[in-house]
């Protein structure tokens, strides 16, 4: 088999960018050190007065320019026989090829006159996806006649990475390798919306600038200077200024206001704090004394046979008792019945019963690519269920699945997903 060569992609002139960024940060540090020496009136080189202000502004600009240069020089992508490794300024990440499901190209602007905005992402087999920091095309040897947008170099990079993936990994053919939004007619609404927003910002800025002189005059009118007596010495003239804490009345009002505000905050916190349902604390205490399990680590209540227990879970596929994917919790009744609920409880508003007599447990497995969505934890697992001959997927934590599927298990070997257990390919999400 032909060996696929290792590839490395870095920004063009990354050494020059790195050297320029470090130099700018060093100059900014020297400028700040000079301002600090001038402020402390130390010996040697120091700055003060207008020079200090100019040096501070220059140091800030140099620091920003240096950070931007370092951010532009840091991204790098390397792929070899061991896997895919990409680096950014503050983060490095490495993924072996067996964990990569597909390399996906994203084209977010199908109607743009400048189509050089494609991005490449890595889709993992556990459902995660992250973008690769591929540097922009180098433009060396590229002319407007043969590749005006740099898409040719981008496609060459994608082809090299996919060749390595095919050689050392196994791409998933069921996942799309290209994502293009639906082509829609070009609309001028975003342009005019941005234009109106800019005009409103300029109008507000002009209003603020015109109102500054009036605000300063108003402040001077209400804050006249306090004149000292004629015989007050120069060193004591600062005592003529009024201070906020110079009056006992002001201090008394401040203390009283602080005490009242603190009391109101305490009362408000006690009135709005989360309160568990009646009897929950006693029930948990009794379960702890009896040595029972106190939950699955996800805030799940303990089943004690006296009231409903709400467990976080949802069905990936549409079924007749959850046709609109509105389920967020499963309800385990006192009698062992099972239902779906669109809320975490308490109460049975919107709850629908699950016909457990029609469900058969096939296996419990990890989440595959394309099933990680809706903002639920990636550590959750999927239970494949047979519902009247159709495959239905239930996703929840492993502890929740153990509690929910316990009455549905037919054989422990099937539930444990033994090598001989029946396996069905889940339909695409």
Q: How many domains does the chain have?
A: 3
Angle among Cα 337, 342, 343 to the nearest 5 degrees reads 95
Question: What CATH number is attached to the domain comprising 97?
Answer: 2.30.29
Under a CB-based contact definition with an 8 Å cutoff, are residues 79 and 151 in contact? no
C-alpha dihedral, 342 to 344 to 345 to 349, nearest 10°: -10
CA 315/CA 342 separation, integer angstroms? 11
pLDDT of the residue at 149: 54
382's CB contacts (< 8 A; 6+ apart) are 316, 364, 365, 366, 367, 368, 371, 393, 394, 395, 426
Same domain, 330 and 342: yes
Same domain, 91 and 138: yes
Same domain, 36 and 140: no
Beta strands in 167-321 (DSSP E): 178-179, 309-315
What does residue 162 show for φ and ψ, rounded to 5 degrees? -70, -30
Same domain, 399 and 308: yes
Domain edge (last residue) among 44, 73, 102: 73
Same domain, 138 and 54: no
**Burial zone of 400 (CB within 10 Å; 0-12 exposed, 13-18 middle, 19+ buried):** buried
**Percentage of the chain modeled with pLDDT above 90:** 6
pLDDT of the residue at 104: 87
For residue 411, give the DSSP letter.
-
Alpha-carbon radius of gyration of the chain = 33
Whole-number average pLDDT of the chain: 74
pLDDT of the residue at 239: 63
Tokens of 197: 């927003």
Q: Is residue 19 scored above 90 in pLDDT? A: yes
**Burial zone of 259 (CB within 10 Å; 0-12 exposed, 13-18 middle, 19+ buried):** exposed
Question: Average pLDDT of 197-216?
Answer: 84
pTM above 0.75, yes or no: no
Residue 236 lies in a domain: no
Q: Which of 116, 119, 86 is nearest to 105 (CA)?
A: 119
Same domain, 352 and 367: yes
Dihedral of alpha carbons 17, 22, 27, 28, sign: positive
At 153-203, the pLDDT tens digits run: 788 888 889 889 888 888 888 888 887 665 444 556 667 888 888 899 888
Beta strands in 47-96 (DSSP E): 76-79, 83-87, 92-96
Residue 118 lies in a domain: yes
Please name the residue that has the structure tokens 């394309």: 370
Tokens of 169: 């990994």
Q: Which of 131, 135, 137, 136 is nearest to 93 (CA)?
A: 131
Same domain, 80 and 50: no
Same domain, 312 and 408: yes
83 forms beta bridges with: 96
Residue 310 lies in a domain: yes
At 38-90, the pLDDT tens digits run: 555 544 344 545 666 677 788 888 989 999 999 888 899 999 888 899 888 88
Same domain, 15 and 115: no
Same domain, 69 and 122: no
- Structural domain that includes position 406: 300-415
Same domain, 100 and 42: no
CB count within 10 Å of CB 64 equals 12
**Burial zone of 386 (CB within 10 Å; 0-12 exposed, 13-18 middle, 19+ buried):** middle
Same domain, 340 and 313: yes
Q: Order of strands across the sheet with 352-353?
A: 352-353, 338-341, 329-332, 309-315, 390-396, 381-387, 359-365
Residue 116 lies in a domain: yes
Domain edge (last residue) among 153, 179, 205: 179
Domain edge (last residue) among 179, 212, 234: 179
């Amino acid at each position: 088999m032909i060996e696929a060569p290792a590839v490395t992609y870095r920004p063009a002139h990354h050494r020059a960018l790195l050297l320029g960024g470090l130099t700018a940060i060093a100059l900014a540090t020297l400028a700040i050190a000079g301002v600090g020496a001038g402020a402390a009136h130390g010996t040697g080189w120091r700055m003060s007065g207008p020079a200090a202000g100019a040096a501070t502004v220059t140091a800030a600009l140099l620091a920003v320019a240096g950070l931007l240069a370092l951010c532009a020089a840091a991204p790098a992508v390397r792929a070899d026989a061991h896997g895919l490794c990409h680096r950014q300024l503050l983060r490095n990440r490495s993924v072996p090829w067996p964990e990569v499901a597909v390399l996906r190209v994203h084209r977010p602007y199908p109607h743009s006159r400048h189509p050089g905005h494609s991005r490449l992402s890595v889709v993992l087999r556990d459902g995660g996806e992250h973008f690769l920091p591929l540097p922009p095309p180098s433009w060396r040897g590229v002319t407007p006649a043969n590749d005006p947008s740099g898409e040719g170099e981008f496609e060459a990079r994608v082809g090299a990475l996919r060749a390595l993936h095919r050689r050392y990994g196994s791409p998933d053919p069921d996942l799309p390798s290209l994502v293009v939004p639906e082509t829609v007619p070009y609309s001028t609404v975003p342009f005019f919306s941005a234009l109106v927003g800019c005009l409103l910002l300029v109008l507000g800025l002009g209003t603020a600038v015109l109102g500054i002189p009036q605000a300063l005059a108003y402040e001077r009118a209400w804050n006249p200077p306090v004149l000292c007596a004629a015989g007050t010495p120069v060193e004591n003239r600062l005592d003529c200024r009024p201070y906020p804490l110079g009056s006992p009345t002001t201090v008394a009002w401040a203390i009283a206001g602080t005490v009242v505000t603190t009391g109101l905050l305490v009362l408000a916190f006690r009135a709005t704090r989360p309160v568990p349902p009646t009897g929950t604390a006693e029930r948990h205490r009794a379960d702890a004394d009896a040595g029972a399990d106190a939950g699955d680590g996800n805030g799940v209540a303990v089943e004690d046979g006296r009231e409903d227990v709400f467990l976080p879970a949802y069905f990936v596929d549409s079924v007749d008792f959850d046709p609109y994917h509105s389920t967020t919790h499963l309800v385990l009744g006192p009698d062992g019945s099972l239902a779906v609920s669109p809320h975490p409880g308490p109460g049975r508003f919107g709850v629908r019963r699950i016909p457990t007599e029609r469900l058969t447990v096939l296996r419990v497995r990890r989440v595959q690519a394309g099933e990680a969505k809706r903002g639920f934890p990636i550590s959750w697992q999927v239970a494949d269920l047979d519902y009247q001959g159709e495959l239905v997927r239930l996703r929840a934590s492993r502890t929740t699945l153990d509690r929910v599927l316990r009455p549905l298990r037919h054989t422990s070997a099937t539930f444990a997903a033994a090598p001989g257990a029946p396996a069905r390919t889940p339909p695409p999400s």
